[in-house]
Amino acid sequence: MANKPFAITLKPGTSLANLTGSWRSSRPVYLNRLPPCNNACPAGENIQGWLFHAESGDYEQAWRVLVRDNPLPSVMGRVCYHPCETSCNRGQLDEAVGINSVERFLGDEAIKRGWKFDAPAASTGKKVLVVGAGPSGLSAAYHLARMGHQVEIQEAGPLAGGMMRFGIPKYRLPRDVLDAEVQRILDLGVTLKLNTKVENIEQSMQLGAFDAAFLAVGAHIGKRAMIPAGDASHIVDAVSVLRSMEGEDKPMLGRKVVVYGGGNTAIDVARTVKRMGGEPLIVYRRTRDRAPAHDFEIEEALQEGVMIKWLSTIKQAEAGEITVERMELDDKGFPQPTGEFEKLEADSVVLALGQDVDLSLLQGVPGLDVKDGVVQVTPDMMTGFPGIFAGGDMVPSERTVTVGVGHGKKAARNIDAWLRGITYVPEPKHEIATFDKLNPWYYSDADKTVRPMLDIIRRQTSFDEVQGGLDETNALFEARRCLSCGNCFECDNCYGVCPDNAVIKLGPGKGFEFNYDYCKGCGICEAECPCGSIKMVPEDI
Amino acid sequence: MSFQPVKFYQTGTYTVGNRLLAPDARSVQAGELRSNSINSGHRACQGCGEALGARYAIDAAMAESNNQLIAVNATGCLEVFSTPYPESSWQVPWIHSLFGNAPAVATGVAAAMKVKGKNNVRVVAQGGDGGTTDIGFGCLSGMFERNDDVLYICYDNEAYMNTGVQRSSATPPTARTATTMPVGPEPGNVFGQGKNVPEIAMAHGIPYVATATVADLRDLEYKVRKAMKMHGARYIQIFVPCPLGWGSASHDTIRLARLAKETGMFPVFEAEHGEVTGVLKIRNKQPIEDYLKPQKRFAHLFGKHAHPEMVAHLQAIADRNIRKYGLLDEEKAHG
């Protein structure tokens, strides 16, 4: 000490000796929150997860993550009503991410490049019968096959696809796309028996020595309404019309075709009639905003020249004309008759009033509970008869392709567990990454990419696909509009904004770690995390 | 826009980095090998904007000078919290002398390097707004006037914080400070001219003057790197919110810096040889209240005995900045 001048008697030290983490009263932790899109997806897709790979241009990996949950991305990218986009947080910023269009791009890319599913797990020696080759049945068959079970689909119709083929018109879902995605499922070793109507499920199971069955026969019996009709009137149901579009003999409906109903099926029939050269008129008893059809479909139909008569019911049908009554909505929004009538030209009337389920195959099966014309199932998709599961349109649900696919997946997981003698317990859901968890400042302004639409004349006269797809450049752009809600996308913000250098960057793909020795708990990282992947939790003091 | 933004990589240029960006397009702060000029364990308060701003700036200067840098520090929070004898957080050659003489010391260091033939060694001087706009102002003006080869960085948190929150010539009107007796019946600072040091620096005609905030890292790094490419006297003033002195939440530090820029309260621009050459435009203009309300130093403007006329006066100051520097895009200014 004596040899040193004043004030430098101590050796210089580093502030690292000063563990400022002891100041902290709350600590940041990394977490994954559930993106609203994933939460909204009826098929339970990990949308944010597959967009993550699409963002870096790794479309094959994106597709592989996608098909872990849904084997029909190309179909989905065309017919799904994308509740994911409705719930997308980006919708509160500018416009929702075009998830559906990226999904279609990935699906089409997979078909183009011939990507195959990963090989199934080792065989379990169990046999499962799937009844019905619609979206739900195909989905269940796919998941069961990947889990190592031997799967046979028995389908009453002449071709696979169910309502995807016999309910959705070609201009929305080209058949080569459907065929390609069905074939890829069959390539997993799934047996498909066409023209095989299951009359008695117990018998069919015994015959084939099946250990379990999944029923997904759909709902394809058109509902009738009591309309006083003359002998010469021509009344048919919408499902039959759409089904016969797939066969050799196209339906004979005449020129003036009245479609009765306000759902998506009514729109599909009207647009089909338009393409066949007819003059469709939709008659619906309520108003546009109360119609069950999706508004964009109504809009597309109107663009193509479909006429719609709102607030009207059909009172009588005669040869060549119908009588409609004008309705009024009451306080509760229900249509009430007004006594004002009008006659309209009509060569035929197509009823699009919903569909019933053909439950004949279940006759004599003990323990089944059928209510309101649909089969009741437990939350694990099993009917009252052990080992028989059911899903899709034949159980209580919103009747869409995506819901059907979701049922198929859920049922497959529960069938798998049931066959193994265990109970399937889904992983607990993360908390939802709501918009208030995000810091949207960091996302640059980027408007949604609009998919090209077929020109109007070709839409009115041909069954060519109406909506086009994205190409590689704009699919990439669209994928990158994803905010990655609730899941770290390695933007380095936490690492950059920490005034205490207490965030450790672990390298590409590895994310970050907090250094709690020095983290003072200021919370800037949480506040400035764009995607809400950090949470402050109180320290136990 | 004073620098070229990177577009459409999910977040544009706003985040620190991004896994999809090429490494050379990322910020210095995104790098695992950034120099971390101020290491962990420093004693700055939780959420200190100055500690953050200093690391942003000096790391960028280190990157631009190939780590051949000497930092001179005025007295102030930055010196006190980083270097309580005998330990230091600094990971660069660093010297501290007095409160008011940092520009002069830096001039001396630069001269010494020149004499020793070490032309590759660059000099940065740094201080708070008190040490810069008040106490060290004479030395600073001299350094400008002689055009000494020093980059002077002022971390502006709008008061002397290490003396217990005391008014400086950078304290905005109406802001309450803890240790300065109010003039008149109102608790806050009076409306006056203040001292706009970036404009005074420009009046010296020095090669480069710029302002930046801790909320726009890319802009800040761009300006420090640009300044380090030049020689002669250069001045950068960085807006660094102070949770303790402003009475704001520690997690709001960057948000407040962003609001200061987005309201027009703190114009972000750059100037060469006395002429403004670029401004960082306001992205979404916000009313001044959004900036004032999260800060307790402005609390007396709101509530029971509110002073809407003072808020309006502050709004007028912000609007004047917007007009003067053209902070809004044409369409936004008229829309």
Q: Give the separation between CA A100 and CA A450, rounded to whole angstroms.
A: 11
Q: Give the separation between CA B256 and CA B242, rounded to whole angstroms.
A: 10
A527 contacts in chain B (CB < 8 Å): 251-252, 254-255
Asked whether the beta carbons of A50 and A376 are under 8 A apart, the reply is no
Inter-chain CB proximity B12 and A23 less than 8 Å: no
A6 at B interface, C-beta within 8 A: no
Write out the DSSP string of B227-296. Answer: HHHS-S-EEEEEE---HHHHT--GGGHHHHHHHHHHHTSS--EEEETTEEEEE---SS---HHHHHTT-G
**Lowest-pLDDT choice from A105-119, A168-182, A473-487, B194-208:** A473-487
Question: Which one of 2.20.25.90, 2.40.37.10, 3.50.50.60, 3.90.228.20 gives the CATH number of domain A127-221+356-419?
Answer: 3.50.50.60
Domain that holds residue B320: 23-334
**Which residues in chain A (33-62) have CB-CB distances under 8 A to chain B?**
55-56
**What class does CATH assign to A39-116+431-479?**
mainly alpha
As a whole number, mean pLDDT of residues B293-305 equals 95
Q: Give the separation between CA B311 and CA A228, rounded to whole angstroms.
A: 74
Secondary structure of residue B209 in the 3-state scheme:
strand
Q: In A276-350, where does DSSP find H-type helix? A: 295-303
A16 at B interface, C-beta within 8 A: yes
Residues near A369 by Cβ (< 8 Å), separated by ≥ 6? A375, A376, A383, A384
To the nearest whole angstrom, how far is the Cα of B226 from the nearest Cα of chain A?
20
pLDDT tens, position by position, B188-241: 999 988 899 999 999 999 999 999 999 999 999 999 999 999 999 999 999 999
Q: Which two tokens stand for residue A30?
A: 């990394």
Q: Give the separation between CA B30 and CA B37, rounded to whole angstroms.
A: 14
Answer whether residue A448 shows pLDDT above 90.
no
**Nearest Cα residue in chain A from B18:** A491
**Is residue B156 a part of any domain in this protein?**
yes
pLDDT, position B335 = 40
Angle in degrees, CA A307, A284, A459, rounded to 5: 35
**Is residue B259 a part of any domain in this protein?**
yes
As a whole number, mean pLDDT of residues A174-180 equals 97
Q: Give the separation between CA A327 and CA A310, rounded to whole angstroms.
A: 9
pLDDT, position A230 = 79
Confidence of residue A413 (pLDDT cuts 50, 70, 90): very high
**Is residue B4 a part of any domain in this protein?**
no
High-pLDDT (> 70) share of chain A, %: 99
User: Within 13 Å and on the Cβ side, how many CA atoms surround B262?
Assistant: 18
Distances (CA, A) of A504 to A64, A437, B35, B56, B92: 31, 23, 14, 16, 21
Angle in degrees, CA B273, B274, B275, rounded to 5: 95
pLDDT, position B23 = 80
A482 contacts in chain B (CB < 8 Å): 10
Q: Which candidate from A491, A499, A507 shows the least CB-CB separation from B18? A: A491
**Is residue B10 a part of any domain in this protein?**
no
Beta bridge partners of A154: A131, A193
Sequence letter at residue A5: P
pLDDT tens, position by position, A209-238: 999 999 999 998 988 888 888 777 789 999
**Lowest-pLDDT choice from A126-135, A273-282, A371-380, B5-14:** B5-14
Taking phi first (over 0 means left), then psi (-120 to 50 degrees means alpha), and beta for anything else, what does residue A420 get? alpha
Q: Which two tokens stand for residue B172?
A: 């905005």
Q: Give the separation between CA B231 and CA B108, rounded to whole angstroms.
A: 15
Cα torsion through A120, A123, A126, A130, rounded to 10: 20
A20 contacts in chain B (CB < 8 Å): 40-43
Q: Give the separation between CA A445 and CA A492, rounded to whole angstroms.
A: 20
Q: Give the separation between CA B167 and CA B175, rounded to whole angstroms.
A: 9
Write the CATH number of the domain with boundaries A223-354.
Answer: 3.50.50.60
Confidence of residue B5 (pLDDT cuts 50, 70, 90): low
**Is residue B49 a part of any domain in this protein?**
yes
Asked whether the beta carbons of B161 and B242 are under 8 A apart, the reply is yes
For chain B, strand residue ranges (E) read 69-73, 87-88, 94-96, 122-128, 151-156, 208-213, 234-239, 269-272, 275-279
Q: Which of B262, B257, B259 is nearest to B328 (CA)?
A: B262
Residue A308 phi/psi, 5-degree rounding, is -130, 130
Q: Return the residue in B10, B36, B214, B216 with the most chain A beta carbons within 10 A, the one to mutate for interface testing.
A: B10
**Is residue B12 a part of any domain in this protein?**
no
Q: Which of A115, A110, A121 is nearest to A145 (CA)?
A: A121
Sequence letter at residue A120: P
pLDDT, position B147 = 98
**Omega within 30 of 0 (cis) for the link into B86:** yes
Inter-chain CB proximity A522 and B11 less than 8 Å: no
pLDDT tens, position by position, B90-122: 999 999 999 999 999 999 999 999 999 999 999
Asked whether the beta carbons of A212 and A415 are under 8 A apart, the reply is yes
A507 contacts in chain B (CB < 8 Å): 32
Asked whether the beta carbons of A23 and A389 are under 8 A apart, the reply is no
To the nearest whole angstrom, how far is the Cα of B26 from the nearest Cα of chain A?
10
To the nearest whole angstrom, how far is the Cα of A498 from the nearest Cα of chain B?
7
Does A223-354 match A39-116+431-479 at the fold level?
no
Beta bridge partners of A355: A222
Asked whether the beta carbons of A393 and A218 are under 8 A apart, the reply is yes
Boundaries of every domain in chain A: 17-32+488-538, 39-116+431-479, 127-221+356-419, 223-354
Q: Which two tokens stand for residue A80?
A: 């799904």
Write the CATH number of the domain with boundaries A17-32+488-538.
Answer: 3.30.70.20
Inter-chain CB proximity A444 and B40 less than 8 Å: no
**Which residues in chain A (494-523) have CB-CB distances under 8 A to chain B?**
495-502, 505, 507-508, 515, 517-518, 520-523
Q: Which two tokens stand for residue B78?
A: 């930055």
Inter-chain CB proximity B12 and A15 less than 8 Å: no
Taking phi first (over 0 means left), then psi (-120 to 50 degrees means alpha), and beta for anything else, what does residue A10 get? beta
**Nearest Cα residue in chain B from A483:** B10
Q: Which of B104, B105, B101, B122 is nearest to B113 (CA)?
A: B122
Asked whether the beta carbons of A395 and A407 are under 8 A apart, the reply is yes
Residues near A226 by Cβ (< 8 Å), separated by ≥ 6? none
Q: Which of B199, B198, B133 is nearest to B166 (CA)?
A: B133
As a whole number, mean pLDDT of residues A481-491 equals 93
Answer whether residue A279 shows pLDDT above 90.
yes
Q: Which of B204, B236, B7 is nearest to B127 (CA)?
A: B236
Q: Which two tokens stand for residue A485?
A: 């809600």
Q: What's B73's domain CATH number?
A: 3.40.50.970
> Max alpha carbon distance in chain A (Å)?
123
Cβ-defined contacts of A297-302 (< 8 Å, 24+): A297/A264, A297/A267, A298/A267, A300/A271, A300/A459, A300/A466, A301/A267, A301/A270, A301/A271, A301/A274
Inter-chain CB proximity B51 and A499 less than 8 Å: yes
Confidence of residue A453 (pLDDT cuts 50, 70, 90): confident
Residues near A249 by Cβ (< 8 Å), separated by ≥ 6? none
Sequence letter at residue B25: A
B217 contacts in chain A (CB < 8 Å): 496
Answer whether residue B164 shows pLDDT above 80.
yes
Taking phi first (over 0 means left), then psi (-120 to 50 degrees means alpha), and beta for anything else, what does residue B10 get? left
As a whole number, mean pLDDT of residues A173-181 equals 97
Q: Give the separation between CA A88 and CA B223, rounded to whole angstroms.
A: 37
Secondary structure of residue A129 in the 3-state scheme:
strand
Number of folded domains that form chain B: 1
Q: Which of A405, A388, A362 is nearest to A198 (CA)?
A: A362
pLDDT, position B209 = 98
3-state helix, strand, coil in chain A (%, to 5): 35, 20, 50
pLDDT tens, position by position, A46-66: 999 999 999 989 999 999 999
User: How high is the mean pLDDT of chain A?
Assistant: 93
**Lowest-pLDDT choice from A99-103, A174-178, B13-17, B138-142:** B13-17
As a whole number, mean pLDDT of residues B154-173 equals 95
Q: In A174-314, where does DSSP find H-type helix? A: 175-186, 201-208, 238-244, 264-275, 295-303
* Pairing status of strand A374-375 against strand A307-309: unpaired
Answer whether residue A2 shows pLDDT above 70.
no
> What ipTM, to 2 d.p.?
0.94
Inter-chain CB proximity B49 and A499 less than 8 Å: yes
